[in-house]
Amino acid sequence: MSRSCDITGKSSQVGGRYSNRTRATQFNPTGKVRRQANIQKRRIFVPELGQTVLLNISTAALRTIKKNGAFATLKKAGLIS
């Protein structure tokens, strides 16, 4: 299973790794790098359901849950009905 957020869908991105010194020369030995999302495995208690849900979520999704509540966030993501 790929490392992706269950709520936001964030996953890895491919980007360049270039320094300013490398940009100034014709020879450019640096390649691409895969940048991983900050994915955490968390147990989140949903008071409306009275149960705990195990999720792989990004830290941005943790802030969203803190702001909007667990039930509303999970319902909007389609993880619960």
Separate counts of helices (H) and strands (E) for the chain: 3, 4
What's the pLDDT score for residue 28?
64
What is the C-alpha to C-alpha distance for residues 12 and 33, in angstroms, rounded to an integer?
10
What percentage of the chain's residues is helix, strand, coil (to nearest 5)? 25, 30, 45
Chain mean pLDDT for the chain: 88
Domains of the chain: 13-77 (2.30.170.40)
- pLDDT tens per residue across span 33-58: 899 999 999 999 999 999 999 999 99
pTM of the model: 0.75
Beta bridge partners of 52: 45
Helix axes 70-77, 59-68, angle to 10 degrees: 120
**Coil vs helix vs strand at 46:** strand
